[in-house]
Structure formats: C-alpha cells, structure tokens
A and B are shown apart, each in its own frame.
Chain A
Amino acid sequence: MSGSNEWQKRFDELAFALSEDHLTDEMSDELALILAKHPDAPRRLAEQQQLRAFLREDISDAAVLPMGRKRERFRIRFAVAAIALLVCAAFVWRPAFSVRPAPMESIVQNDGTISSDEPLDAGVAVLTQSIQAEWQSTRRYDVGTSLSPGSFELNAGVVQLEFYRGAVVVVEGPARFELVNTERMICESGKLRARVPPPADGFTIETARFELVDRGTEFGLNMAADGTGHVDVFEGRVELFDVDSNRAPESRRQVDAAGSVTVARNGTTTVVAEPTMHYVSTDEVRALAANQSATRFEAWQTASTALANDPKIVTRFDFTRDPSSDRTLRVAGQQQDGAIVGANWVEGRWPQKHALDFKRPSDRVRCQIDGDFESITLSAWVRIDGLDRPFSALLLTNGYDEGEPHWQLRGDGRLLLGIKSPSGHIAYDSNSVLDTRHIGQWTHLATVYDGSNATVTHFVNGRPAGSQPIVTHPFPLRFGDVEIGNWGAPVNYSPQKIRNLNGRIDELTLHRVPLSADEVLAVFELGRP
C-alpha cells in the first residue's frame, strides 16, 4: 500500500476499536487527530459507522436493487432468444432452465471497467504448487486455485502461495495461517519461507507476538506450538515490531541477512548464531513438484495401458502423440483413429503428457464410432479456456439423427447431453457448476446415460453435478461420424453455428456401460494432475 493510504489503515483499525468499545484514551486522541488532519476521514468514519449500523440488522433478506435484477433477467431473455435463433425449432426447452450466478468468494477487487454483473476474482493469492497437501477443511485446493481472505489449516505437505502483490510463500504443514489481503497474512503456527520481490516490499506477516515487515528479499519464519517464533533472514532485511504497536519506532528491531532471531512468548528477542532449521525453498518445491508430476504421469500411463483391453470401453483416445503421424489421433480399441484438423499438439495435464489445443473455428478431430448402445458413459479431461459462446462442443455427431448424442458445454457453465429422440430432442443439463474458477484448469467431465435405470447424471471433477430422468421410451444411442471439439453441421443448418471448443483435451473415453458414481470418482482420482 502506498504511503498516502497509510492513515486509512490505522484509521480503520481505530474506527473498528471505537465500534467495539475498545478505544483507549490514547487511541481516541489519535482518532480525533486523524479526523482533524485528513479531509476524507470524517466521511470514512461515517461510512464505517453506517455499515456497523446496517450489520446489526439481519440483512440477509435485503433485496438487491431492482436495477441489478433487471439486468440479469435481461441477459437471460437475450441468451434464450439468441439460442432460439441458433437452434432448430424442434428443440424442447426444459422448464429447469435458469441461470444462477456462480458463487464467488469474499471481497471484490474491481478495476472499474467490469460490469457489476460479472463474477470477479476475490482472491488475494493463488496456489501454485501443492505437494501431498492435506488440509483440515474438506474443501479442495487444487493448483491454480485463487484463494480468498480467510483461515487455512494445512495438516501436512507443502504448498506454495503467490500473493497478487508479488510475494511467494512456501508453507510447510502442519501450519495454521490466515490470508488477509494481497500483501499480508497471519501465521498462527507452522513454518514458512517467503520470497519478496521489490513490488511486494512491505509484505507483512502478523503473529501473536510480533509483526514482521519484509523489506526484500527472502526470509524464513517458524511459529512453534509453544508460541516461540524463529526468524531467519536469508537475503535482505526484515523489520520486527511488537504486535498492536502500530509499528511504533520504539519496538522496531531490524534483522539483516544472514541473521537469525528467536522471539520468546513474552516478546524478548534473542539473536541466534545460525539458523536452527531448514525451510523449503521455491526451488525445492519446484523439484518436488516435478517429481510428483512424473510419478503421477507414470501412474496414469500404467493405468491407461491397462484400459486398452477393457471390454466396457467402446473407444478411448489417450491423446498420446504419434510422431510418425502428426495429424492422426490414435485410438485404443476397435474403432478408427481420428483425423486431426487444425488443432495443435500442446502440453496436457503434466509436462510429459500431450493434449490437443482447440482454438480456431476450424479446429476439430473427425472420427467414426460404430455400434448401438443402451447406455453410455462419456468422460474426458478438458482444460476449458473460455465459455464465451452458447455451446462448446466436446463430442458431437455430425448432423443430428435419431439416437445421436451431442455432448457439449453451455455458455452458462452447464454440461449438456443432447439426444435426438424419435419425437424430437431432449436436453439433459447438469447444474451450473462450471465458472471462471475452472477456466485454465484441467477439469474432469463425465456424463452417464443409464438406459436401464432411466437416468442421466453429470459429474464434474468426480462429483455429481445434476441428474435427470429419461422419460422417453427406450431407443438405442448411436454415433457414426463424430467430431471432437466441434460440430460438423449438416448442409441444411445455416449459418454454420460457432460451437467450437475453446480449450484443450487430453483424454476422452466412451464406455458402453453406465459407470457408477464411485467408478467416476475413481477415474477422476486416477487422472488428477
């Protein structure tokens, strides 16, 4: 934070203390001084107090301004109209059509050019590495997840967090910490090592006893269970202040490289001759991650080879590049290889794994799938790079004849299996679970069409994402000519509708049986990057 906003930080602290009736005489004087000195301060105090007054009521039912709602409804109507134009009139809309805004975390960071209806990234740091991490919470934190302010408890493993302001912190479990904002965190217990480049100068870690402010460049911090703190400075300098002293100059202690100090529970700082422990650095994490990645890839490869002979599988593309034939997508099993049009070979879930990148409107893989099926399971590992069109194709039959499935994504984040039935068309939608958090992340998608139990169930990352009954009389599903990542629309559909996928695929499997929820979860766990 620049100096001009320093008063605001202290001011907010004091205003909060005022609200909590914790204002000492000194703090009261300090607050009055700030009010006198800064012309914006009275306004800000009034805003804070009004906010406190609001929070006292239970405003969970407070209506969002009609303006906001109307815009949302308008977008739904527009989207429906647009889709109606694009799609054959025989399509039947299920009454369950609705757009739920994706739940986003915590607080807004807004650059002013984004409309208030769009989801915004509320994170302060992104998780960039995760080595055998075990979290106390049941929530999953995958690599690439943007973390919002809040508490975290890492029971084991090593994770690397990159704060939006620039600091890179490697945390070793067991550790309890809290993310406050883009340049501040609280360490209750555990070990961490931080690298603070110039843009992040001033990165601060609060502990129970002291406030550590980094002035570049790298240090280690360990908070032991008994409340003792160790600080080892590897490069540059850090400053330590008594916590709650508002960085009072009297309490300032400076520690330069390569110095080490211990801070006892009562606040006494002792200089120590040399670092007493090892801190995992970013280089080590990278090496660990590469090792982990190689291990996981090998495990996947072994499992993948075994699946080549699985009788339950109709066709399976493992997206292994054949150097002798760059435009061929090899298939395991009886079916034909696919013909790659346009799509380029890129990196998949692991550095050692290949994937195809679908970007341009012409990118596609053409193949053929023979056979009739009472039930099917479609599953794929997809990295969605954008959902900026009404439909994004995963696997679509050319044209749309009876019994033919269209497996695709909707622009509002739903997985869709469309089946052409004898009497029309049925759209089996998932819940709206895909959102901006999935963009750029490898995601497992699966849809189970269970002909005997008459249900269609969708899965995202191994978890059920919506289920619907099959209400038509049974009829067999068939594929024929299909395209991956695009749609070979028949001649009488015009204009050519843009539904090419914007993203990467590195595995696609078609089973002739319905997989159970446990089996889908197992597939997901096996293939997790």
Chain B
Amino acid sequence: MDTEKSRNGESNGESNDERGERYSRLLIANRRRIYGFIFTLVHDHAATEDVLQDVSATLWTKFDKFEPGTDFAAWAMSIARFKVLNWRRKQAKLPLNLDDVQFEQLADAAVSVSFESETRRSALATCLAKLSDENRMLIRERYTRNRSVASIAAEADRSRVAIYKRMSHLQTSLLHCINERLRVEGLS
C-alpha cells in the first residue's frame, strides 16, 4: 500500500540499498534461466544480451511489483516475452519466422524448459564428462572459446563440413543424454 512507502521509495522497512541488493541477488540467481528463455526466441547471443539488458532495467523499475517469495524467473520471463516481441517487430529480417501462435507456443515451451534449468545443466555436466577428450575439446573450442569452424577444421586437418556435421551430431547426442538422465532420475 502506498502509505507504507516513504518518500525515498522504502517499503516494508527496507532501505534502498537493501532492496538493490535483493534485486541483484535474484537477478544473478535467475540470470541463466532468463538468458536461456530469451535466446530460445531470439537465436543470437549478442541480441540476447541486448534484450537481457533491457529486461533487467525494466525488472528493476518494476521491482516493487514483484512479490517476494514467488518465482522471480517466471515474473522476469513474462516481461521478457513482451520485450522479445518488440525486438522481433523491429528486426528487418529474422533468423526464424514465426507467426503469433507459433511464437507463443515456442515461448511457452521455453518457459517450461527453463523450469528444468538446474537439473538439465547438471545433467549436461555429467554428459560432457562422458565425452571423449577430443569431442569435449571440440565443444569447448567452438562454443566457449567461440572459435570459427574454419579455424578448428584447419587445425584438425578436417573439412569444415566434417566438423560441422560432428558438432551437429554431438549436439543431438548431448540433448538425448540430458533427456535420458532426466527421465531415469524421474525428473521429467
């Protein structure tokens, strides 16, 4: 209620600093989930970072509306959904064209998957550990260090097509492994 808020924005006896700290903690704890959600709808890392910045700023201005104890990520994702829609409308060309219905379906799927974020990430760690050293290095070089396929191919004395195909199969295999782990552990 407004009467509980003082002039400098305090509510529930919390100082502005404390509020800021609480916001930061929540954002850091949920950043991965929110990032994954945006990326699923935007398909580009740089653009995702931009949208995430925008979302974070809005989350902060609207932080009073967030009910402590509820799912911060869920709330953030509902705001992110609008942001992504706006971003998509502004693009001259989209990597993947989706009509409104398809977009909503994909956004809903992204929310659902984000709820499994921690267990999936943990399963991924296990699945990565089971890879051969060669495959694990390949993933690290391509995805974490962001090396180009051309440069990896040149160093491995393989064609770009071969590396590309290998990465494609690896991604499918990793996803299969993750889904199986979740199924076996009864978590999905």
A and B pair up: yes
Asked whether, in the complex, the Cβ of A64 is within 8 Å of the Cβ of B184, the reply is: no
B43, B105, B172 — most chain A CB neighbours (10 Å): B172
B95-130 interface bits toward A, Cβ cutoff 8 Å, 1 = contact, 0 = none: 111100010011011101110011111101111101
Q: Given A32-B102, A53-B39, A108-B180, answer yes or no on A43-B112 (Cβ-Cβ < 8 Å).
A: yes
Residues in chain A near residue B124, CB distance under 8 A: 51, 54-55, 59, 62
- Which residues of chain A in 97-155 are interfacial with respect to chain B, using CB atoms and an 8 Å cutoff? 104-108, 110, 112, 114-116, 122, 148-151
Stretch in A23-31, A315-323, A327-335, A465-473 with 4+ CB within 8 Å of B: A23-31
Q: Which residue of A lies closest to B98 (CB)?
A: A32
Interface residues on B, range: 35 or more
Given contacts A60-B128, A178-B166, contact A51 B174 (CB under 8 A): yes
Within 8 A of A (CB), among B160-185: 161-162, 164-169, 171-181, 183-185
| A47 interface neighbour in B121, B173, B175, Cβ under 8 Å | B175
CA separation between A48 and B168, bound complex, in Å? 11
Residue of chain A at shortest CB distance from B142: A55
Number of A-B contacts (CB under 8 A): 181
- The answer to whether A148 and B132 touch across the interface, beta carbons within 8 angstroms, is yes
A62 touches B125 (CB 8 A): yes
- A208 on the interface (CB 8 Å rule)? yes
Q: Cβ of A55 and Cβ of B120 under 8 Å apart?
A: no
Known: A12-B171, A32-B102, A208-B161. A105 touches B130 (CB 8 A): yes
**Of residues A49, A52, A55, A67, which shows the largest number of chain B Cβ atoms within 10 Å of its Cβ?**
A49
Tell me whether A62 and B132 are in contact (CB under 8 A).
no
**Contact string, A12-24, partner B, CB cutoff 8 A, digits 1/0?**
1100101111010
B9 to chain A, nearest CB (A): 34
Among the stretches B15-23, B62-70, B83-91, B133-141, the one at the interface with A is: B133-141
Q: Is the CB of B122 within 8 A of A63?
A: yes
Contacts A23-B96, A35-B106, A55-B144 given; indicate if A107 touches B131 (C-beta within 8 A).
yes
Q: Are A16 and B168 in contact (CB under 8 A)?
A: yes
Using A20-B164, A28-B96, A112-B184 as known contacts, say yes or no to A56 and B45 having CB atoms under 8 A apart. yes
Q: Is A186 an interface residue (CB 8 A)?
A: yes
Query: Is A106 within 8 A of B140, CB to CB?
Result: no
Chain A residues contacting B126 (CB-CB under 8 Å) are 64, 68
B60 within 8 A of A: no
> Are B184 and A110 touching (Cβ within 8 A)?
yes
Residue on A with the closest CB to B159?
A208
Report chain A residues within 8 Å CB of B135.
106, 149-150
Residues of the A chain whose Cβ atoms lie less than 8 Å from the Cβ of B181: 108, 110, 116
**Which of the residues A51, A105, A115 comes within 8 Å of B175, measured between beta carbons?**
A51
Query: CA A114 – CA B119 in complex, angstroms?
Result: 19
Cβ contact within 8 Å between B36 and A49 = yes
- CB-based nearest A residue for B38: A53
Q: Which residues of B contact A48 (CB under 8 A)?
A: 171, 175
A516 to B165, CA, bound (A): 46
B44 CB-CB contact with A under 8 Å: yes
- Taking a contact as CB atoms under 8 Å apart, the answer to whether B179 and A47 are in contact is yes
B112: which A residues are within 8 A, CB to CB?
A: 43, 46
Q: How far is the CA of A64 from the CA of B176 in the complex (A)?
A: 18
In the complex, A44 Cα to B109 Cα: how many Å? 8
Instruction: Report how far A114 CA is from B184 CA in the complex, Å.
Output: 8
Pair B119/A65 contact, Cβ less than 8 Å: yes
Task: Return chain B residues, CB-CB under 8 Å to A115.
Answer: 184
| CB–CB B40/A49 < 8 A | yes
Interface residues in chain B, defined as those with a beta carbon under 8 Å from any beta carbon in chain A: 32, 35-36, 39-40, 43-45, 48, 95-98, 102, 105-106, 108-110, 112-114, 117-122, 124-128, 130-132, 134-135, 139-140, 143-144, 149, 158-159, 161-162, 164-169, 171-181, 183-185
With A47-B113, A59-B121 already in contact, 10 other A-B pairs whose C-beta atoms are closer than 8 Å: A16-B168, A42-B102, A43-B112, A50-B120, A54-B120, A56-B143, A108-B130, A115-B184, A122-B130, A149-B135
8 contacts between A and B (CB under 8 A): A47-B178, A51-B124, A55-B139, A59-B121, A59-B124, A65-B122, A104-B130, A107-B131
